[in-house]
Amino acid sequence: MPGANEAGPGGLASVLRDKGALTSAWMPAYRAVPRDAFVPDRLWPGTAGGNRQGEVIDRNTDPARWWERVYSDVPLTTQWDDGAHPGTDKGRSPTSSNSMPKMVFSMLDALGVERGHRVLEVGTGTGWNAALLAYRLGPENVVTVEVDPAVAEEARRRLAAAGLNPLTVVGDGAQGCPDGAPYDRVIATCGISTVPYAWVEQAAEGAVIVAPWGPPYGGQAVARLRVGEDGVAMGPFVMSSAFMRLRDQRDTFPPTDAFPGVANRPSPASRRTTALSPDDMGDWHHMFTLGVQVPDLFCRVERCEKGAYRLWLLDTGRTSWARADYVPARTEFEVAEYGPRRLWSEAEAVMSWWREKGEPRFERYGLTVTPRGQHVWLDSPDNPVPVRVP
Ligand SMILES: C[S@@+](CC[C@H](N)C(=O)[O-])C[C@H]1O[C@@H](n2cnc3c(N)ncnc32)[C@H](O)[C@@H]1O
C-alpha cells in the first residue's frame, strides 16, 4: 500500500477537490468505487493536457508506475482502433478509455442527480462512471450502453466484481435504450456533433442531458441541456472537453491529395497575403466558433522547420481548399486558395465576427435541439450563431 504522501485515492481526491471537480456529494461514491478496480493491466496514459497518449504501462511489469498513473488526473487509453490493434505499441486512434477524473466528476456534478433518478449513460468504457452512478443511485436506476461487445463484457465483469450490476447493454448508444426510459438524466461519455434525438425522446420532462459536443473542425465543450415539455432540449455549454467520438459520428476526412488542384504544377491556386495569423486560428474557443459557422470545414497542419507550419482548410465536399503558411515573428502570411469557395476569406469573416462579439468562450454559447434539428446560440437561445451555408 502506498504511504500517505504517495499517489493513491486520497491524493487524487485532494487534487480533484482543489480543481472544484469532486464535490462532497460524490465523495462517498469516489471512496467506494476505486478507479484501480476499473482499469485494465495495460494502459496508455494521457500526456500534454490529456490529448496525447504516452507509451504503454503494464501493471505486471511496472506496478508502481501503473498505480501512480491510475491515481493521477489523466485519461487512460485502454483500446486502439476499435480493438483491431492489439499489442503494446500505439495504434492510429484511441477508441476506448477511462476518462480524465476531473472530467468524470465535473460532468457528474453537472448532471445534478438526485435520489431516485434514472440515468442513461452512453459509452460504458471501463465501467467506472457507470459504477459511480450505480453506487449513488442504485444499480437498478442506471442503464449504460457500449457499442463494443468486448469492452462491454470487460466492464460488466468489473462492475459485477465491485458488487454493482447496472444494466449494461451492447448497442449503438445513439439509439438510447428505450426499454429503460423515461430517464431523468442522460450522460454521454463520448463526443458528438449532433445530439441524437432519441435521447430527448427517451428523457422525462425536465430531464437533463450532459454531453460533449463539437463540430468536425474542432473545439468541443460539454452541453448541459434541459428537456422541455415541447420536446425541445436547450441549455448552455458548461466546460471545454476533448472526448473521443461516438462511433457513427467520427469524422473521416478525405486526404488532401484528393482535392482538385492540390497536386497540379504550377499550382492553379490564387495567391495573396493575410494579416490573420494561422496561430490565432488554434484557440480552442475560436475553433469551436469557426466549426459551428462553417460546418463542412476541416483542417490539417503540416509542420516545417524552425516553428513554421502550413495550415490547410478544406471542405468535406472536396470542392475547395486554402492553405496559409505560418512563419514565426511575421505579421503577414502567404495564402493560396482554390475552388469555388474562398475558404480563407470565410475564416477571416468568422474571425472578425468572433472578435466583434468579444472573443466568446464556450460558456457564452448554448445549444437547442428540436425534432427538426439543432443550432448553437450566443448568450441567449433567441440569438442563433450564423451558419454559412455553402
Ligand atoms: C471515453 S470512453 C468512456 C469512458 C467510460 N464512461 C468510463 O467510465 O470508463 C468512450 C466509450 O464510448 C464508446 N462508444 C463509442 N461510440 C458508441 C456508441 N455509438 N454507443 C455506445 N458506446 C459508444 C467507446 O467504445 C468507448 O468505450
Q: What is the pTM of this model?
A: 0.95
The grid coordinates listed for 107 are: 460532468
Q: Which ligand 1 atom is nearest residue 174's CA?
A: 19
Question: Hey, what amino acid is at 180?
Answer: G
Residue 382 has pLDDT above 80, yes or no: yes
pLDDT at position 1 is 45
Is the CB of residue 98 below 6 angstroms from any atom belonging to ligand 1?
yes
Residues 6+ apart with CB under 8 A from 301: 309, 310, 311, 312
What DSSP state is assigned to residue 191? B
Is the CB of residue 120 below 6 angstroms from any atom belonging to ligand 1?
no
Q: Which ligand 1 atom is nearest residue 125's CA?
A: 27
Give CA separation, 377 vs 13, 108, 208, 236, 380, in Å: 35, 24, 18, 9, 6
pLDDT at position 47 is 86
Partner residues linked to 187 by β-bridges: 121, 210
Parallel/antiparallel/unpaired status of strands 321-326 and 333-338:
antiparallel
Average pLDDT value over all residues in the chain: 95
The rounded distance, in Å, linking the Cα atoms of 356 and 358 is 5
Is the CB of residue 103 below 6 angstroms from any atom belonging to ligand 1?
no
pLDDT confidence tier of residue 389, bands split at 50, 70 and 90:
confident
- Is the distance from CB of 35 to CB of 127 less than 8 angstroms? no
Residues 6+ apart with CB under 8 A from 38: 98, 126, 127, 128, 131, 155, 158, 162
**Region 177-206: what's the mean pLDDT?**
98
Cα(260) to centroid(ligand 1), Å: 36
Cα(185) to centroid(ligand 1), Å: 17
Cα(212) to centroid(ligand 1), Å: 12
Q: Which ligand 1 atom is nearest residue 98's CA?
A: 9
Residues 6+ apart with CB under 8 A from 3: none
Q: Which ligand 1 atom is nearest residue 104's CA?
A: 8
Residue with cell 449494461: 168
pLDDT confidence tier of residue 388, bands split at 50, 70 and 90:
confident
pLDDT at position 7 is 81
**DSSP, residue by residue, 338-349:** ESSS-HHHHHHH
Partner residues linked to 250 by β-bridges: none
Residue/partner pairs of 80-84 with CB below 8 Å, 24 or more apart: 82/148, 82/247, 83/148, 83/150, 83/151
- Residue whose Cα lies nearest atom 19 of ligand 1: it is 172
Output 328 or 49, whichever has higher pLDDT: 328
Pocket test for ligand 1, best of 96, 100, 136, 194 (most atoms within 8 A of CB): 96
Cα(123) to centroid(ligand 1), Å: 3
- Is the distance from CB of 147 to CB of 173 less than 8 angstroms? yes
Pocket test for ligand 1, best of 79, 147, 175 (most atoms within 8 A of CB): 147
pLDDT at position 6 is 64
3-state secondary structure of 48: helix
pLDDT at position 3 is 46
Cα(168) to centroid(ligand 1), Å: 12
Is the CB of residue 244 below 6 angstroms from any atom belonging to ligand 1?
yes
Cα(51) to centroid(ligand 1), Å: 17
Output 252 or 157, whichever has higher pLDDT: 157
Q: Which ligand 1 atom is nearest residue 128's CA?
A: 8
- Residue whose Cα lies nearest atom 17 of ligand 1: it is 246
pLDDT digits (tens, 9 = 90+) for 76-95: 999 999 999 988 999 989 99
**Region 61-83: what's the mean pLDDT?**
97
Cα(360) to centroid(ligand 1), Å: 30
- Give me the percent of the chain exceeding a pLDDT of 70: 97
List residues with catalytic annotation: 99
Is the CB of residue 315 below 6 angstroms from any atom belonging to ligand 1?
no
Pocket test for ligand 1, best of 153, 245, 247, 251 (most atoms within 8 A of CB): 247
Residue 192 has pLDDT above 70, yes or no: yes
